[in-house]
Amino acid sequence: MKFVTRKGVRLDRAACGWLIRRHIAPDADILYVEAEDLPQALEDGALLFHNTTSEDPASGDRTSFQELLAEYRLDERDEGLALMSDIVRGAETKEPGSIEEAEGLRAIAKGMNALARSDEEMVERMLPVFDALYAYCVRRVGGQRGWANAEAGWGRQDEDATTVWSPTRAGARI
Amino acid sequence: MEEKWRRSQDWFWEGNLQERVLDYMQQDEGFTILSPGQPTVQESGIDIVAEKMVGEVPTHCMVTVRGWPSSVYTKGKLQGQPRVSRPETVAREWMAQVVLDLALHRGADPELVLALALPTMAGYIRYLQRLRWFLAAARISVYLVAQDGRVTVMPPGAAPVSAVTAPSAAPVTGPSTRRKLGLPGSSRLQLPLLHVLIASGGQASRTECIGLVAQWFPEVPQPPPAEFGQRLSIAQNTTQLEGFTEIVGRGVWAITEAGRAVHDAEWEDWLKNKES
């Protein structure tokens, strides 16, 4: 399986990269190409994961992350991902009334963007951030709002937090 | 005052896509439209039926038009307010319905030319990419409609590359898209239609409206060609969906109070724009 997007990955598409790696197709190739190379990538069967040139500007609250979730029906199956998509959208769009975690995520992503030297590196560096955010979301929709180590005890790992993102658990989706 | 929301504002609404595809099929592909289909505010999809002579044999084509779901409610008290269900979730259901319909049509008639018309939204592009094998096997081509009005056709099984290529010429949105036939598009006919209905005492037959509206467009030949009547019907349908006109008898159209209000608010601007 092959996914493609144009160069210049920021928050939303970094989150898409995480979603592909962790929940859709862990072994997929993810390509970051110049705009003029996109047609060839599509000819070769790659799946686009950013908005097209003709998306409606009025639909600015839509994120590619949400679209991928809906396409693979992950938001129906996983409330943690559904909550995470709200946070990603809030961070991406800065819409008033966004969920409070969005602002922090945006700051981290912008910082990571300053540290990374390529799209691949940006996505790789953000993987553990999104792993952590997802673990937080899973705990939160499960009603766990405290610190995991306070519940599990120091030195013991919280089972939820360490297994929820496992690629082998997630597997490839259709 | 805040402008009232209208379904036709969304370029990706099925009614707007239908207009582009009808133009393309007639002007670029030489089809005769047997049935343009009727857009609905419920966004239930449109089937265009067309015919073209290939040699001496008539070939029939059915194009299923699907827009992208609105992000707001399209009818009822909440019209114009944000929807609870997200468009991308609804779009998946629509795509599933369309694929089933197309598969059933292909099974029922192996000779029918089948096509699908969609806006170039990324969500749809990914589905098309993943369904290339199906589209090839079922011999279904795809009309892709971009926001600027460009229509491109993907042969069965081809990659949807036009979705990621910029237009080669200036945007063809708005009135200029209709220059090729010398006919105004249906969106330009809406206000003149309201105007002639008022001038006719509030209602008029479709035939009368065709003649009267055509008088506002010197470029329309006399008598107006069938395509003009078709576009006026689409304009009437759109204004009906927006509550500006209604059908009060067989082939008789009437203006509503809301239609009068819109006419009074916008007619002068329309005249000024026309003159300029």
For the whole model, what pTM was predicted? 0.69
Burial of A84 (0-12, 13-18, 19+ CB in 10 A): buried
Contact A71/B92, CB-based, under 8 Å? yes
Q: What radius of gyration, in Å, describes the C-alpha atoms of chain B?
A: 19
Q: Does A5 lie at the interface with B, CB-CB under 8 angstroms?
A: no
Residues 6+ apart with CB under 8 A from B131: B99
d(CA A7, CA A4): 9
Contact A59/B87, CB-based, under 8 Å? yes
Q: What is the DSSP string of chain A?
A: -EEEEES---HHHHHHHHHIIIII-TT-EEEEE-GGGHHHHHHTTPEE-S--TT--GGGTT--HHHHHHHHTTHHHH-HHHHHHHHHHHHHHH--TT--THHHHHHHHHHHHHHH-SSHHHHHHHHHHHHHHHHHHHHHHHTT--S-HHHHH-TTS--HHHHHTT-HHHH----
Q: Look up the ipTM and state it.
A: 0.73
Q: What is the pLDDT along chain B (276 residues), one digit of tens a residue?
A: 445 667 677 888 888 999 999 999 998 999 999 998 877 766 678 889 999 988 888 889 999 999 998 877 777 777 777 777 888 888 999 999 999 999 999 999 998 999 999 999 988 999 999 999 999 999 999 999 998 888 999 999 999 888 887 654 333 333 334 444 567 877 788 889 999 999 999 999 888 888 899 888 888 888 887 778 777 877 887 787 778 888 887 778 899 998 898 899 888 888 887 776
Listed by number, the residues of chain A in 108-127 with a beta carbon closer than 8 Å to a beta carbon of chain B are: none
Residues 6+ apart with CB under 8 A from B246: B240, B253, B254, B256
Q: How far apart are the first and last CA of chain B?
A: 26
Contact A70/B91, CB-based, under 8 Å? yes
Contact A52/B164, CB-based, under 8 Å? yes
d(CA B183, CA B199): 23
Contact B122/A59, CB-based, under 8 Å? no
d(CA B244, CA B242): 6
Tens digits of residue pLDDT in A6-64: 999 999 999 999 999 999 999 999 999 998 899 999 999 999 988 775 555 445 567 88
Measure in Å the smallest separation between the Cα of B126 and chain A Cα atoms.
6
Q: Does A95 lie at the interface with B, CB-CB under 8 angstroms?
A: no
Question: 3-state DSSP call for residue B206?
Answer: helix
